[in-house]
Amino acid sequence: MEERRENRRNRTLKEAKIAFNNRHSTIDAIIRNISENGMKLSVETTAGIPSEFEIRMADGTYRKAKSIWVGEKELGVQFFIE
């Protein structure tokens, strides 16, 4: 598989939440790897996750993101530049 990432991702296992619907809806997630531009998330199921959302990091900060690829229980996301 061809590598298309601009930045190297660092492996991690950190808790996060996918937030949408003006942060009224959340889905638990695990950050599998992260870089300056995006991350790979594991979830129970990707069903119901919109294409654009916010990610609540363990420290309480939010990052706006969009799905780049979606599997059954994992998704790759790219951060919006703010």
Q: Report the 10 Å Cβ neighbour count for 53.
A: 23
Q: Quick one: tokens of 56?
A: 């609540």
In 1-82, the DSSP E strands lie at 10-20, 25-34, 38-42, 52-56, 62-70, 74-79
Instruction: Tell me which residue range forms the domain holding 72.
Output: 10-79
pTM: 0.86
pLDDT of residue 7: 62
State how far the Cα of 6 lies from the Cα of 46, in Å rounded to an integer.
25
Q: What is the CATH number of the domain that holds 63?
A: 2.40.10.430
Does 56 map to a domain? yes
Residue burial 11-40, b: 16+ Cβ < 10 Å; e: rest: eeeeebbbbbeeeeeebebebbbbeeebbb
State how far the Cα of 73 lies from the Cα of 60, in Å rounded to an integer.
23
Does 4 map to a domain? no
Tell me the pLDDT tens digit for each residue of 39-77: 999 999 999 999 999 999 999 999 999 999 999 999 999
